Structure 1
């Protein structure tokens, strides 16, 4: 939005208020995730010393040497853990693609900057498997997926390949964090405008030559649509292969549902990004 228009950021970014049925939808996540873990038990990896520095690795039968898909959960960097997203591995697992679901520490115990570093550590741990990564994520996880794509891995560790992360698929992501500073979301995040800018991948060096899909529920707020459109446009103009898409009739909590469906267009696109 521009000119003299005033944006009510509290309304735009309060997803729980926008979707009154969110408790039932999130209870559905927990139920479906538990059922999938019971059906397809993951292998537990650790990437750091803390109890939340863990990765659930949902290995697929017949997986070859293509990319592993890492899916990062949402929760505005202050809620949930990887176990709430176990069912998001179902669709890709059915196509023989291994899915890694990390957990991270939460604000206000840590900062968003620390969470970014933790997800880099998780990716480095997965690099030990000798496979490239495609990073997906929902909401805050979409932000973290873009951060992983824009990380200079070789500079971080010369032993890592520069193309460790070949693509990102962000669902309902947040890429410009300054609009959150004056909202209730920021009570736990503790950002000022400067730290929000530093943590915003929209303003990082675009990862030219790599691929970013920024998709968002068609029923989400104007700000969520703007966030995904803007990063697709700006990074696309800088040499990133970007796609912007809207998931028809989906709100912030139903936008990830296609990940559990092996026949969905979302799973087909991730399969393509993984080189299968």
Structure 2
């Protein structure tokens, strides 16, 4: 198996620049129409999250951007909050520092700090989600943080075993060795016994399909491969409040949220 071909998603989808440009356009439009609160969760310039609040909070979600822990920031995924907002789900989108400036272990710690800060702000259990590298962070938080903070996860095109990345060009910035890759692999951590639903594009590589299906089975969760969607178009359902995926995520966020009705 050629792991470079399996995991290098930008090479697999030549049209990805136009897709990302559309993410940025939709995200900027949402921030204009629904200005978020900015919450610092640490001292660094990237340790900030955008919090989109509905009129009435029925659930809480956190969504992490992708980019293989080495690209992008929260401004690329604001649009992923749009559909959930329509269902009364508050959505926080954090930025975090990037490799190689910081190690991946530090990014995981930043993700935990963001979740703790959001819980401190809203005082409710949250659903965590994210795309690609963000799906990895969502799974790590479900494994490492207590249920009163992180109660469920919906990783989208996530990475749950990191050792296959070691021989690829992706690892140039990550600098993972086998020990670090194992320590940072959610698939090697104890299952937390909380709701998990893994989503992946049906047109993604066999390795991404395998990782989502095997991880969901290992942790006793559900999984779905969405027909015709690739590693980038997999986010296209989320701005649509009536899409079945958006409705599934919203319902899970409602389910795990406590009964506090006022922010």
| TM > 0.5 fold call | yes
Question: Could you tell me which residue of structure 2 aligns to residue 189 of structure 1?
Answer: 174
**Does 2:240 correspond to 1:266?**
no
**Where in structure 1 do 4 or more consecutive aligned residues deviate above 4 Å?**
none
RMSD: 0.9
How do 1:30-109 and structure 2 match up within 5 A?
A: 30-63=24-57, 66-109=58-101
Q: SS of the residue aligned with 1:233?
A: helix
Kindly state the Cα deviation for residue 127 of structure 1 after the two structures are TM-superposed.
1.2
In structure 2, C-alpha distance between the alignment counterparts of 1:184 and 1:199, rounded to whole Å = 18
Question: Could you tell me which residue of structure 1 aligns to residue 217 of structure 2?
Answer: 233
Kindly state the Cα deviation for residue 202 of structure 1 after the two structures are TM-superposed.
0.3
**Does 2:171 correspond to 1:177?**
no
Structure 2: unaligned runs, 5 residues or longer: 256-263
Q: SS of the residue aligned with 2:153?
A: strand
Give the structure-1-normalised TM-score: 0.90
**Does 2:246 correspond to 1:254?**
no
Q: SS of the residue aligned with 2:38?
A: strand
Kindly state the Cα deviation for residue 163 of structure 1 after the two structures are TM-superposed.
2.6
**Does 2:5 correspond to 1:11?**
yes
How do 1:120-269 and structure 2 match up within 5 A?
A: 120-128=112-120, 129-153=122-146, 162-208=147-193, 210-236=194-220, 242-269=221-248
- Equivalenced residues, count: 254
Kindly state the Cα deviation for residue 67 of structure 1 after the two structures are TM-superposed.
3.0
Kindly state the Cα deviation for residue 264 of structure 1 after the two structures are TM-superposed.
0.6
Check whether the contact 2:201–2:230 (CA below 8 A) recurs between aligned residues: yes
Q: SS of the residue aligned with 1:207?
A: coil
Q: What is the CA deviation profile of residues 79-107 of structure 1, one whole-angstrom value per residue up to 9, with x for unaligned ones?
A: 00001101111001111111100000000
Question: Could you tell me which residue of structure 2 aligns to residue 158 of structure 1?
Answer: none
Question: Could you tell me which residue of structure 2 aligns to residue 113 of structure 1?
Answer: 105
Structure 1: unaligned runs, 5 residues or longer: 1-6, 154-161, 237-241
After the TM superposition, which of the residue ranges 173-182 and 143-152 deviates more from structure 2? 143-152
In structure 1, C-alpha distance between the alignment counterparts of 2:88 and 2:111, rounded to whole Å = 24
Give the structure-2-normalised TM-score: 0.95
In structure 2, C-alpha distance between the alignment counterparts of 1:28 and 1:233, rounded to whole Å = 33
In structure 1, C-alpha distance between the alignment counterparts of 2:204 and 2:22, rounded to whole Å = 20
In structure 1, C-alpha distance between the alignment counterparts of 2:45 and 2:235, rounded to whole Å = 26
In structure 2, C-alpha distance between the alignment counterparts of 1:163 and 1:235, rounded to whole Å = 19
Question: Could you tell me which residue of structure 1 aligns to residue 259 of structure 2?
Answer: none
Check whether the contact 2:60–2:125 (CA below 8 A) recurs between aligned residues: yes
Q: What is the CA deviation profile of residues 175-212 of structure 1, one whole-angstrom value per residue up to 9, with x for unaligned ones?
A: 0000000000000000011100100000001102x011
In structure 1, C-alpha distance between the alignment counterparts of 2:62 and 2:145, rounded to whole Å = 18
Check whether the contact 2:124–2:148 (CA below 8 A) recurs between aligned residues: no
